[in-house]
Amino acid sequence: MSINNHELIGSNVEHTKSENIGGKFKEGNLLYIIIHYTAGASRKSSVRALTKKETRTMYLLIL
């Protein structure tokens, strides 16, 4: 895996666009990176839940 132009790239990497697009963070405004256990039934169900507009989740990385 590698990071290219702010994107994770690799043979097992999938990108799913979220409905929650609000623009880039202003430099210095990103205060926290939160790592947590999602407890979804599967990776796909977690991605589906976290990309819905109701969740207001903008950026995420599911491993």
Which amino acid does the sequence have at 24?
K
Residues 28-41 pLDDT 10s: 777 777 777 777 78
Question: Amino acid identity of 30?
Answer: L
Helices (H), 1-63: 43-50
Give which of 15, 18, 24, 28 is closest to 56, Cα–Cα: 18
Instruction: Please give the Cα distance from 48 to 22 (Å, whole number).
Output: 18
pTM over 0.95, yes/no: no
Amino acid at position 38, single letter = T
The rounded Cα 30 to chain-centroid distance in angstroms is 15
pLDDT tens digits for 4-31? 887 889 998 888 877 777 777 777 777 7
